[in-house]
Each structure stands twice: as C-alpha cells, then as structure tokens.
Structure 1
Amino acid sequence: MTPSRPELLSGMALAVFKLNGQFLEIAEGLARPVGLTAAHWQVLGAVLKTPLPVAGIAREMGITRQSVQRIADILAENGMVEYLPNPAHRRAKLVAPTEQGLAAVQQIGPAHAAFADRMCEALGDEQAAGIYRRLRELSDALEALDSGEDGT
C-alpha cells in the first residue's frame, strides 16, 4: 500500500533529519583530527572556490546568517579565514580561506576520500550517483515550493 502524501512528506523529513545527524557525525570525525568541527569545515568548504559574504554562505548552506557569522568569526580568530573588502557591498565583507584554512581542508582530504570509497563500495557507484541526483531534485523542488515557483 502506498503511503499517503502527508506520510510521504513526514517520512522524507525524518529520513533527511536522520541523514543529517549521520553526516554531521561523520564530518565531525573527519574534521576533528585537524582541529576543526563539522561546522567549521562546512563554512570553509563554502568559500574554497570563491570568497562569499556571510549571507551568501548562509544561503548556500541553508542556515542562518547569524550562525555563519559566529563560525566565521571563530575561524578568523583561529587564522583559518580572513575578511576581505567586498566590491559589491561596503559593509558585507567577503569570507576567504587563508593558507592555514586551505591546508586544514587539504589534510581532511585523504580520510574524506577513503570514507567516500567505502560508502560507494557499499552502495555501488551507480546507486550512489542516483541518490545524489534524487537528493538534489528533492532540494530543488523544496526550494521552488518555498519561493512560490509552483504557482500556489
């Protein structure tokens, strides 16, 4: 018997909440040896390719600006990120990784790759790619619904 739509929504939410906890626990274990927390690693990861303002990091991560600001300030105090002038906004500085921050993330790389290998071995590469694709689709659908793009 197919679950009702409210049961599907609740089931998806509960599964994602559990996955979030599992991923955070894994991330903590990977980040801890280099002196970072999962949250620190998450903020650093958001600015590896390009510096972003705190609000931009928050949007990317789906968390509050205040949470990102607190973590960015801690990372800045520890020399992992620096605040740079933002040509697009005088007051909203850009967060950029320092050499020390980049080195910390690079140190996580081998353990991260090893865990990724174990996970993909357990699931199979095709299934892992399919799960990733479906999670992105779910996120995109929720974003569209939240922004009213669904026409309601």
Structure 2
Amino acid sequence: MSDTDAPLDPDELGHRLNEVYDLIGPLYRRAFRKVEQGEQFEGASIGVRSVLDLLRRHGPLTVPQMGRILALSRQFMQRMVNEAAEHGWVEVTPNPAHQRSSLIRLTDGGRDVITAVLAREHQLNRQVGGDLTDAEVRACVKVLTEILKTFDHVDID
C-alpha cells in the first residue's frame, strides 16, 4: 500500500476535506442556477424538483419524512409540496399508518416533469470532462457519503 493509499490521520483528513467543501459550494450554486434556468421549460423550482425526485425514488412519503431525508424543515417541505400540488404534480392521499400525516404521491404529470428535468440534467452531466473513471466516481460518492454520515451524527457547537 503506497502512502497515497493509506488512510489519512484525522488532522490531515480535516484539511483535505476543506478542499472538497471549497468546491461543493460553487458546484451547488451553479447547478442550482442551471436547474432554475430549466424552470422556464418544466416550471419546477429547485425545491419542487427535490420533492418530485424524492417521490420518484422512494414512492409516497409524508412531508415530515421528506424533510428528514433532505435535512430540510417540515415547513419548507410543505411549501414545496403545496407548490407541486398547485401544478398537479403531486397529490395528497390518506396515510393508513398515520391519520394526521397524509402521504404525498407523484402524479403522472409530476413523473413527466421530473423525467424531463432529469433528462436535461443528464445531458449536462454527459459534458463533464476529465476522463473520469468509474473508480474515481465511486471514490467521490464514498467520500461525500462519509461526510454526510458525519453530519447526521455530530452536532457542531
């Protein structure tokens, strides 16, 4: 195992992960702007896009469940669900497990919208250069997953 393959000590890891954070902010903001540019075509804001994609991936969910998965407030999620419902992209259905917390379900129209958004995003992602390998993308996903897990379990004062 070479030095570059050995796990980093926590202090060095902390410094190296700052490089990742320095890239995540601009990446998120640029991706956010691209999604919003597509709003003129599909009509879905970034928040509504998140709701639609979450429902596409997980099936019907309650607003609190969506908030927990995305680490967003229930109030924000409710506003996004309301916006999606105004467009007819989601519908509220009874929840047999909880009388007061309805399930939110993707409609056919919502499925069409999120499919169009994801297709446009896929076309943009196809343009990423750098001759990236599957191993590099897996490593990136692993790093980001580990960072996310840390923030799920650690409160920073």
TM-score, length-normalised on structure 2?
A: 0.78
Matched, 1:47 2:48: no
Query: Match of 1:40, SS?
Result: helix
Matches within 5 A, 1:55-94: 55-94=64-103
Change (3 A) 1:9 1:130: closer
Query: Match of 2:105, SS?
Result: strand
Q: Name the CA distance, whole Å, in 2 between partners of 1:15 and 1:124.
A: 17
Matched, 1:138 2:139: no
Provide, for residues 75-122 of structure 1, a one-character-per-residue CA deviation record: whole Å limited to 9, x for no partner. 111111001111111011111111111111112233222112122x33
Query: Match of 1:51, SS?
Result: coil
Q: Name the CA distance, whole Å, in 2 between partners of 1:102 and 1:43.
A: 11
| Equivalence for 1:124 | 132
| Equivalence for 2:27 | 19
Which letter does structure 1 place at the counterpart of 2:44? L
Provide, for residues 60-79 of structure 1, a one-character-per-residue CA deviation record: whole Å limited to 9, x for no partner. 11111100101101111111
> C-alpha displacement at 1:28, in angstroms?
2.0
> C-alpha displacement at 1:27, in angstroms?
2.4
Q: Name the CA distance, whole Å, in 1 between partners of 2:150 and 2:80.
A: 29
> Which blocks of at least 5 consecutive residues in structure 1 are unaligned?
147-152
Moved more, 3-12 or 100-109: 3-12
Query: Match of 2:91, SS?
Result: strand
User: Does the Cα contact within 8 Å between 1:31 and 1:41 map onto a contact in 2?
Assistant: no
Query: Match of 1:122, SS?
Result: coil
| Equivalence for 1:150 | none
Matched, 1:115 2:128: no
Q: Name the CA distance, whole Å, in 2 between partners of 1:109 and 1:132.
A: 19
| Equivalence for 1:38 | 46
| Equivalence for 2:5 | none
Q: Name the CA distance, whole Å, in 1 between partners of 2:64 and 2:28.
A: 22
> Which blocks of at least 5 consecutive residues in structure 2 are unaligned?
1-10
